[in-house]
Amino acid sequence: GYEQQADAVTAWRAGFGLSDVRAGYALDREKKIDDERRKITPHLVDELLAGNDHVVVGLPGSGKSTILKSIACHWYERQHGTVLYRSSRASKQFDEIGPVKQRVDSAEGHVLVVVEDATRDAANAVFELREEYEGDPSVSFLLDSRMTEWEDDDFAVTDARRGVSKAGVDLF
């Protein structure tokens, strides 16, 4: 089912859900790009539409997932295409790509696949899925990961990080 939207105070205390971000409770971060301050959400949406997959990295609680939710809402509201979103709170493990691949293949428009905590065992099948669509301009991937997990050379799918641009939360 769909998550219930919290009131603004509760959302700020407990963390933002997708519906809270869509309601405008979360503030969009800014980043200096070409000597000017730009909001990160439209910037990363432009990057994703141009075919550049991204991972947002940072410390636990730094706002990585909120940035992903903001981008997913922006994508949906601007009708760029389908958004497939896997929260780190999902009860089912993302360990096989078949069902998600079917959803991507049947989706309309430019598909955005968003996965929180992508380097965790419960979600890292996203890297196999990403390989399936490498070079396909109609499918983009937006991930988040803790900085230490993203940079871990013991990570089981180290080579899968290739081609994913890194955006650090501490840079925003």
Asked if 161 and 50 count as a contact pair (C-beta separation under 8 A), the reply is no
Alpha-carbon span 15 to 26, nearest angstrom = 9
Give mean pLDDT in consecutive 10-residue pieces for the chain, a chain of 172 residues. 54 52 61 80 91 89 86 89 89 89 94 92 91 94 90 60 60 36
- pLDDT at residue 61 in the model: 82
- pLDDT at residue 58 in the model: 86
Token couple for 121: 């065992």
Alpha-carbon span 47 to 109, nearest angstrom = 16
pTM for the whole thing?
Answer: 0.80
Give the H/E segment covering residue 144: strand 139-146
Alpha-carbon span 133 to 151, nearest angstrom = 23
Amino acid at the residue 44:
L
Token couple for 129: 């899925």
